[in-house]
Amino acid sequence: GFGNECASEDPRCPGSLPEGQNNPQVCPYNLYAEQLSGSAFTCPRSTNKRSWLYRILPSVSHKPFESIDEGHVTHNWDEVDPDPNQLRWKPFEIPKASQKKVDFVSGLHTLCGAGDIKSNNGIAIHIFLCNTSMENRCFYNSDGDFLIGEFLRLQTRSLLTDPWPQRGMRFSIDVFEETRGYILEVYGVHFELPDLGPIGANGLANPRDFLIPVAWYEDRQVPAGYTVINKYQGKLFAAKQDVSPFNVVAWHGNYTPYKYNLKNFMVINSVAFDHADPSIFTVLTAKSVRPGVAIADFVIFPPRWGVADKTFRPPYYHRNCMSEFMGLIRGHYEAKQGGFLPGGGSLHSTMTPHGPDADCFEKASKVKLAPERIADGTMAFMFESSLSLAVTKWGLKASRCLDENYHKCWEPLKSHFTPNSRNPAGPN
């Protein structure tokens, strides 16, 4: 369940959770008690996030952090001049393991973002491209939460485990093949379920479908040194320690990693005419201080039925006060059957026009309407933000994946204006 108070013990150490208190003078099994706080102590109960961890050694048992090369990770939003054009990227290329081994951290590339890490306000969108597992290395983010959407299969170990780590949670990623994926990072706030309003008590992403991990530990010495990598104020730092950090024997609280299977999303859609806005497909939201305005929304476009009558069913043409980054995990996106490919992406910036390509418009305007399945075998998603996103130098140049011909998909659009006929004949 999303945000629940939970408790877990590794079954190898029954009774490892203290009874009746958090911080006894001596913990069961002579463990160390450590609190992980994801909110200020004085936050209201509804937003207060913390967990108590009972571990073999505390997190502080490491040598000093030293700065390391951050590669393509950045929070410099002024690397290149602004570009208001519609942007689309071809599938980001995964380095071949036979040429160079790249793990999750080494394969992080910042694509775009906005805001300020030091003031805890903003977001970043990253692409990860990797081909090998993190061996005796873990990562944690002091700047914000990571929402990770993988394109291929990966496995995550964390201080608890699982793939959507919140701020400060250590994790290590194993991969079984050349792998890429998308990351939405938010500074200063946490993701939460959107309010449902008139939808009622049930629908969209149901809380019960979010999974959180059970306690698991390894008591493992690493004589050659285990590397803990920290992203702090947009820079990377590394510290060595002699033991595995995944030594949590028991824990309780509500500040945990979590995961969610997008197939469980309960889709809401129009059953009469016109479109509901895409906000009805919101899985998680990171709220700003303005009511109803998100720093970031995570939105998906899953398989569903389309039944709207007398309606142009693909997404409408649009200019938006929000920034819209879209990615495709698999399949074919309905509004652009060609060019927008799995492993690529697109960015439509604040007030930049976008919508179906010419071929989609012509077909959808003439087709005889009947109930139909939409997006079977497809999973497209959107990271939407109230911030005006700046693209990095890697995104515009070094990635070498920018599609210079994206704008041409709209060039064949032509006028169908009939000034002498208000009601032109249609297919229905």
User: Is 333 a known ligand-binding residue?
Assistant: yes
Residue with tokens 């008590």: 201
Looking only at Cα atoms, what is the longest distance across the chain? 87
Residue with tokens 């990271």: 383
Decide: 363 and 377 in contact? Cβ < 8 Å: no
285 CB-near residues (< 8 Å, 6+ apart): 191, 192, 193, 194, 294, 296, 297, 298
Can you give the length of the chain in residues? 428
Among this protein's residues, is 407 annotated catalytic?
Answer: no
Cα–Cα distance, 95 to 84 (Å, whole number): 30
User: Is 324 a known ligand-binding residue?
Assistant: yes
User: Is 317 a known ligand-binding residue?
Assistant: no
Count of CA atoms in the C-beta half-sphere (13 A) of 340: 27
Count of CA atoms in the C-beta half-sphere (13 A) of 223: 0
Cα–Cα distance, 168 to 70 (Å, whole number): 18
Decide: 245 and 168 in contact? Cβ < 8 Å: no
∠ CA 360-361-362, nearest 5°, is 95
Kindly name the residue from 126, 252, 275, 407 that is annotated as catalytic: 275
Q: Would you put residue 188 in left (φ > 0), alpha (ψ -120 to 50) or beta?
A: left
User: Is 416 a known ligand-binding residue?
Assistant: no
Cα–Cα distance, 124 to 243 (Å, whole number): 32
Which residue ranges are tagged as binding site?
A: 318, 324, 333, 354
Binding residues for Fe cation: 318, 324, 354
Query: What positions carry a catalytic annotation?
Result: 275
Binding site residue list for homogentisate: 333, 354
